[in-house]
Amino acid sequence: MSEFPSTHNEFSSSNDPAVGGIAADRLRSIIERVERLEEERKGLAGDIKDIFTEAKSAGFDVKVIRQIIRLRKQEPAEVEEQETLLDIYRRALGM
Amino acid sequence: MSEFPSTHNEFSSSNDPAVGGIAADRLRSIIERVERLEEERKGLAGDIKDIFTEAKSAGFDVKVIRQIIRLRKQEPAEVEEQETLLDIYRRALGM
Amino acid sequence: MSEFPSTHNEFSSSNDPAVGGIAADRLRSIIERVERLEEERKGLAGDIKDIFTEAKSAGFDVKVIRQIIRLRKQEPAEVEEQETLLDIYRRALGM
Amino acid sequence: MSEFPSTHNEFSSSNDPAVGGIAADRLRSIIERVERLEEERKGLAGDIKDIFTEAKSAGFDVKVIRQIIRLRKQEPAEVEEQETLLDIYRRALGM
């Protein structure tokens, strides 16, 4: 029964009240920590959105800024190679 | 030309070096702040993953914990209503 | 009780066997049609993957092909404007 | 140069006009086939949406139907095990 913490059972004498044979406090702690971190992630997503709103107000193109951020994550040599290929493919297609 | 910050131009006398008529420092600041926040988000995603790894090691079922977290985000009355309907639909389908 | 089809109830005299007051056949039909369409979608996703595998075998760069497909969805004027801005931003950032 | 199809080059005598050393017709064929399949996928997504609209009009709860579809994809034994665990965890948390 891998689903049940082996160190806790119905007869557990630890301080963790076991309900139905599981470590209730441990489970609650896990869930609350995940929820807290998810809240923080949502906060960061909001902060990022605010910066893009600021960028737009300042007259920048948000889609282009996102493209810049993607390019900065890649190696310069890789970016250059892909841009060369993109040019070749476009010319081949008459674009 | 909404893409160009109206308060900055090639003849700008501010401290912000304008390149091609845009506020380079402002653009750099926007990009670096977004990158920093994205790094933090990635860090949080890693922290959440670590907690689920811990949960699994402690014998918990991670999929069920995720379901618990989803349920806790809903109103109890809504959860109950949906569970009632789920039962009805399953019975109707012979599941 | 908006969840229960108003035209079907426990005392329905139609051919649709009502279980728990709902139109079981209607529900089953809805679910099976969705499942069939989802299967087709999965099939198409597999076909697309196969074409990219073929492209790779033929020596093409799959990431660049995806970029071409994205570009073809946009208006040429929009593509050109964004590429101009991308160049300006890159120069401003010294990239 | 793995990016360039080895069987096609600028001096290719095949019927495929090679532009910049690449097999233009082959590239075009790949792209158009992917675009066609993506169109079909979009069509199917629309069909699925229409069925859910129909389900809603008929008085069904769309979220619950989606849950039914998820459950039908799993093995019955797996569903039962997860529901048992969900009950245990909820009781442990006093939900």
Type of residue at B45: A
Which helix (H) or strand (E) segment holds residue D18: the answer is strand D18-19
pLDDT band for D18, please (50, 70, 90 cuts).
Answer: low
Two tokens, residue B20: 């091609």
pLDDT for the residue C8: 40
Q: Is the pLDDT of residue D90 over 60?
A: yes
pLDDT value, residue D42: 98
User: To the nearest whole angstrom, how far is the Cα of B38 from the nearest Cα of chain A?
Assistant: 8
Alpha helices (H) in chain A, listed in sequence order = 24-57, 62-73, 76-93
Dist. CA B5–CA A59, nearest whole Å: 4
Categorize the per-residue pLDDT at D58 as very low, low, confident or very high, splitting at 50, 70 and 90.
Answer: very high
Q: Mutating which of D8, D12, D19, D84 best tests the A interface, going by the most A Cβ atoms within 10 A?
A: D19
Integer CA distances (angstroms), B83 to A43, A61, B95, in order: 31, 46, 14
**Of residues B11 and C64, more confidently modeled:** C64
On the question of pLDDT at B57 being above 60, the answer is yes
| Of residues C61, A12, A63, the one with CA closest to residue D3 | C61
Instruction: Show the low-confidence residues of chain C (pLDDT under 50).
Output: 1-14
Q: Who has greater pLDDT, D70 or B95?
A: D70
Higher pLDDT, B84 or C3: B84
pLDDT for B67: 97
The answer to whether residue C4 neighbours chain D at the CB level (below 8 Å) is yes
pTM of the model: 0.79
Nearest to C5 by CA among C13, C18, B47: C18
- The type of residue at C66 is R
Give the residue-averaged pLDDT of A79-94. Answer: 96
Please give the pLDDT value at position A18. Answer: 63
pLDDT at D5: 47
Which residues of chain B does A45 touch, with a Cβ-Cβ cutoff of 8 Å?
A: 41
Strand partners, A48: none
Task: Please give the Cα distance from A44 to A81 (Å, whole number).
Answer: 33
Q: How far is C41 from chain A (nearest CA, A)?
A: 28
Which of A12, A19, A40 is best to mutate for the B interface (most B CBs within 10 A)? A40
Alpha helices in B1-95, H assignment, sequence order: 24-57, 62-73, 76-93
Identify the pLDDT of residue A95.
Answer: 87
Contact yes or no for D50/C34 (Cβ under 8 A): no
Tell me which of D74, D75, D90 to substitute to probe the interface with B (most B C-beta atoms closer than 10 Å): D90
C30 contacts chain A (CB < 8 A): no
Nearest by Cα to D35 from C56, C71, C80 = C71
Q: D95 to chain B: which residues are within 8 Å by CB?
A: 68, 71-72
Q: Is the pLDDT of residue B36 over 70?
A: yes
Smallest Cβ–Cβ distance between D20 and the set A19, A22, A88 belongs to A88
pLDDT average, residue stretch D23-41:
97
Rounded Cα–Cα distance for residues D6 and D76 (Å): 51
pLDDT for residue D4 is more than 70: no
Tens digit of each residue's pLDDT (9 = 90 or more) over A21-76: 679 999 999 999 999 999 999 999 999 999 999 999 999 999 999 999 999 999 99
Q: Quickly list DSSP for B4-28.
A: S-TT--TT--SSS-EETTEEHHHHH
CB contact under 8 A, B58 and A31: no
Of B20-24, B81-85, C50-54, the one with minimum mean pLDDT is B20-24
Query: Would you say residue B64 has pLDDT above 80?
Result: yes
The pLDDT value recorded for residue A16 is: 62
- CB–CB contact C59 D5 (8 Å): yes
Q: Are strands D18-19 and C22-23 parallel, antiparallel or unpaired?
A: unpaired
Per-residue pLDDT for D49 more than 80?
A: yes
D27–A92 CB contact, under 8 Å:
yes
The confidence score (pLDDT) of residue C22 equals 72
**More reliable by pLDDT, B5 or C56:** C56
- The tokens of D89 are what? 């965890």
Which H or E element spans position A18? strand A18-19
> Which chain A residues are Cβ-neighbours of C89 within 8 angstroms?
60, 64-65, 68
What pLDDT was estimated at residue D72? 97
pLDDT tens digits, A31-41: 999 999 999 99
Is D48 in CB contact (< 8 Å) with chain B?
no
Q: Is pLDDT at A8 greater than 70 in this prediction?
A: no
Contacts of A35 (CB under 8 A, 6+ apart): B69, B72
CB of D90 within 8 Å of a chain B CB? The answer is yes
pLDDT band for position A17 (cuts 50, 70, 90): low
Q: Looking at per-residue confidence, does A2 or A53 come out higher?
A: A53
Query: Alpha-carbon distance D95 to D86, whole Å?
Result: 10
Least confident of B44-48, B74-78, C8-12, D40-44: C8-12
Report how far apart the first and last C-alpha atoms of chain C are (Å, whole number).
Answer: 61
